[in-house]
Structure 1
Amino acid sequence: MAKIVILGAGTGGMPAAYETKEILGKEHQVVVINERAEFRFVPSNPWVAVGWREPNAITMPIEKYLNKKGIEFICARVDKIDAQNNVILTHENQSIEYDYLIIATGPKLAFANIQGAGPDFYTQSICTLDHAQQCYQDFEKLIKNPGPVVVGAFQGASCFGPAYEYAFILDKALRDAKIRHKVPIHFVTCEPYIGHMGLGGVGDSKTMLESELRTRDIKWTCNSSVDKVTESMMFVSELNRKGEVEFEHQLPFQHAMLIPPFSGVDAVANVDALCNPKGFVLTDEYHRNPTYPNIFSGGVCVAIPPVEATPVPTGTPKTGYMIETMMTAIAHNLKALIIDKQPPHTKGTMHAICLADMGNTGAAFVAMPQIPPRNVAWFKKGKWVHLAKIAFEKYFMRKMRTGTSEPVYEKYVLKALGIERLE
């Protein structure tokens, strides 16, 4: 019997657990370790941040549903991975052995890279449910005492979709509250241009997103590096194409939400030869670490190089469809190793698909493959995207409760976009 341990129970770790258990069967043990006892659907956090979604609508207990599928759950923080001896140590000194390890921890939020950044200081975040709830509290203060707002992404960020989502959702929420005229919004981003998205742009994303920002009277500054943040002021350097400071801005704010750069979580980043300098797990085309062949990884915690060099550093996003296929590939590769006694042979896709809500409309993009040149690159908008994202939340939460290995992105998102399976 093989024992497979999965670190993380998010949008990557939970599907990995279900698919691995289903494909390996009762003869093999699957264990999930997560610091929290509930699953949280991160893509809905922007809605929580303005009060459009209650936290209990996007959470569910992990152990109850994993146990129904014969999967063991351990609620604990992992402090160390002894990859040489195949042992995991928790914060309570619990020792957990494994034959194979799947790392699906997600990222560490590197607010410490920017002075005054993060919910512990002066800017809000929507990267975790706790942060989104705190952001909502700050949003309520803004409703009572309107003033300037700054939204965007700090230098080194690799997740830009939620920043645009929050800017547009916030605009709609303020209009609903009849105070938008009292709240100037400034979008600050490390992207070299609007719609770059860490992907070098997708289709007509630049023109379309610029148009949407203009329509909503949202000003923007690109090639931005935030020098520091104080209680009510953001100090921003705007760089030119040569990477030289061209302008310096002081942006006052009553409310600010910026996506931070990501790095690897400490327990993973501290394993010798497992990660790159930022703590992201190194993997081959089969999602397997070259140094430790019994360790696989997928999701935001894996190392993917930037699409291109930019004046201000930008990272490459790992989108949901990519993560879903990574986890499916890992499950099949474990079957090849454990049951078939064959080398890994299944690869996840490097295609990007994203549904971004914009309050009362939405934008969708497809990049095949994610890193250009591409076979397909398009970007479209419409109310149907807003409705599709609402439906997707429902379908994904149902998948987490039923434990099906059904590929949600392929069955529902691609169908909504009118696309057959992407090869």
Structure 2
Amino acid sequence: MPQSGNKPKIVILGAGLGGVIAAFEIREAVGHKADVSVVNRGEIFHFVPSNPWVAVRWREREAIEVSLPPVMKKRGIEFIPVGAAKLDPAQNRLELEDGRAVAYDYLVIATGPELAFDEIPGLGPHGGHTQSVCHVDHAENAADAFDRLAANPGPVIVGAVQGASCFGPAYEFAMILDTELKKRKLRDRVPMTFVTSEPYVGHLGLDGVGDTKGLLESEFRERHIKWIVNAKVASVEPGMMHVEEMTEDGAAVKAKHDLPFSYSMLLPAFRGVAPLRGIDGLVNPRGFVVVDKHQRNPKYPNIFALGVCVAIPPVGKTAVPVGVPKTGFMIETMVTAIAANLKALVEGGQPATEGSWNAICLADFGDGGVAFVAKPQIPPRNVNWSSSGKWVHMAKIGFEKYFLHKVRAGESVPFYEKLALDILGINKLRQTS
């Protein structure tokens, strides 16, 4: 039975990139036939893809923030700026950190991940010795550390650790650092090494897209960035990183590297958030939400999930654990499927819509970049394309401006599909001109 009068209540947990667009699209889909609420720790939306720019002071955090309460109010969405403490799916109840409880008929989980810095000694900005661009707070700390590097140049290590499933920002940040250091005439005093759990440069957790291997290896060579793949970070000490390079089958340590550094940014592994972990039938052992082809949990069919919090198996065996990224296009297709399925349920039908799980990525390098489109994201694919050029940098700037406008305006129109078609269309015109 509906929790609020005669209308079912839909609660969205999380207001990041996926949760915000889900709120808008679900509100549009169900109209006045359901109440829609968003629960989120804090009132501010941050555009996470711009964090690498914040970390070199190409952006201030205020430029990539949106205050959500007025936007949600305008769209007729209740907004609760309090974090979740515990989910009780058997009772259809979400307990909040301030002691309140929120009942729901349908729950959409869009929490994003918890950052597992603690799994490697010395990793991360919270008591560790490496920087992060996963959150705007981390990016601001990374900017302060970059200022110290500029004042006293030395070796730099950038990359992603074992179990990571987000690799694009690591490549972006390595190239952005290279670009900014060149502008400051400091690059010749800063040796750079890229350390990654991927089996090869450009794997990206997707077994590559198009020629991402060739494109990114070429960029690294051009920019004098060395790399270590099949890398497992054992521990980090102040100014020293201990890395084990594994054999291709992962059976043995091929080489041990003690890497000195003055500055390091490593992306961590992800896991599910604490309020969800350990709920039998809802999440896997890592805490990610299990969903079917309709983005719905099999045990609790009134719970949907999207984005980084969703459980997706790796694309294949690797020497070091490598996760699958959940890119913006993929998340958008999940959102569209959930909105359509909730509309069907509210109107007395059954879910029938599936997300296409396509992927598009604009990896900005400051003075150029790499773009790829994978349809679907997980191979085999119908579209498997990648390209590079200065146009990617401009496209990323345009994407940032558009998406922030979309959030501020509360727009529900999907964007990534159009962007993918535009990029592929531009490339086709180039090839025929």
Work out whether the TM-score is over 0.5.
Answer: yes
Partner of 2:162: 155
Distance 1:270 1:59 in 2: 33
> Is the partner of 1:282 in helix, strand or coil?
coil
2:377 counterpart of 1:354:
no
Distance 1:199 1:410 in 2: 19
2:76 counterpart of 1:70:
yes
2:263 counterpart of 1:255:
yes
Partner of 2:31: 25
Partner of 2:116: 110
2:202 counterpart of 1:195:
yes
Offset at 1:62?
Answer: 0.7
> Is the partner of 1:225 in helix, strand or coil?
strand
Contact kept in structure 1, 2:14 and 2:112, CA below 8 Å: yes
Matched residue type, 1:27: K
> Is the partner of 2:27 in helix, strand or coil?
helix
Partner of 2:273: 265
Q: Find the partner of 1:129 among 132, 136, 161.
A: 136
Q: Find the partner of 2:298 among 277, 290, 295.
A: 290
Partner of 2:230: 223
Q: Which moved more, 1:28-37 or 1:269-278?
A: 269-278
Partner of 2:95: 89
Partner of 1:173: 180
Matched residue type, 2:313: P
Distance 1:108 1:25 in 2: 32
Matched residue type, 2:330: M
**Aligned pairs for 1:36-75 within 5 A:** 36-75=42-81
Offset at 1:413?
Answer: 4.5
Contact kept in structure 2, 1:21 and 1:71, CA below 8 Å: yes
Instruction: Note the residue ranges of structure 1 that are not aligned, 5 or more in a row.
Output: none
Contact kept in structure 2, 1:357 and 1:385, CA below 8 Å: yes
Deviations 1:23-42 (A, max 9, x none): 11123210001102101100
Distance 1:112 1:26 in 2: 44
Deviations 1:310-346 (A, max 9, x none): 000100011100101111110110010111x111011
> Is the partner of 2:276 in helix, strand or coil?
helix
Partner of 2:389: 382
Contact kept in structure 1, 2:373 and 2:420, CA below 8 Å: no
Offset at 1:20?
Answer: 0.8
Question: Normalized against structure 1, the TM-score is what?
Answer: 0.97
Instruction: Note the residue ranges of structure 2 that are not aligned, 5 or more in a row.
Output: 1-6, 428-433
Contact kept in structure 1, 2:34 and 2:346, CA below 8 Å: no
Offset at 1:417?
Answer: 3.6
Matched residue type, 2:316: E
Deviations 1:270-328 (A, max 9, x none): 32220011000000000000000100000010001000110001000111001011111
Offset at 1:76?
Answer: 0.6
Distance 2:109 2:34 in 1: 18
> Is the partner of 1:266 in helix, strand or coil?
coil
Matched residue type, 1:298: L
Q: Which moved more, 1:168-177 or 1:27-36?
A: 27-36
Seen in structure 2, the aligned counterparts of structure 1 residues 320 and 146 have a Cα distance that, compared at 3 Å, is: same
Same amino acid, percent of matched pairs: 56
Distance 2:416 2:382 in 1: 19
2:321 counterpart of 1:313:
yes
Distance 1:373 1:29 in 2: 40
Matched residue type, 1:170: L
Deviations 1:249-280 (A, max 9, x none): 00000000001000000102232220011000
Matched residue type, 1:212: E
Question: Normalized against structure 2, the TM-score is what?
Answer: 0.95
Q: Which moved more, 1:124-133 or 1:375-384?
A: 375-384
Matched residue type, 2:120: I
How many pairs were matched up?
A: 419
Contact kept in structure 1, 2:330 and 2:377, CA below 8 Å: no
**Aligned pairs for 1:205-244 within 5 A:** 205-243=212-250, 244=252
> Is the partner of 1:16 in helix, strand or coil?
helix
Distance 1:280 1:158 in 2: 13
Contact kept in structure 2, 1:3 and 1:30, CA below 8 Å: yes
Q: Find the partner of 1:323 among 307, 320, 331.
A: 331
Offset at 1:416?
Answer: 3.4
Partner of 1:401: 408
Partner of 1:370: 377
> Is the partner of 2:33 in helix, strand or coil?
coil
Distance 2:354 2:283 in 1: 20
> Is the partner of 2:308 in helix, strand or coil?
coil
Distance 2:185 2:244 in 1: 33
Moved beyond 6 Å, runs of 4+:
none
Q: Which moved more, 1:407-416 or 1:241-250?
A: 407-416
Offset at 1:369?
Answer: 1.7
> Is the partner of 2:411 in helix, strand or coil?
coil
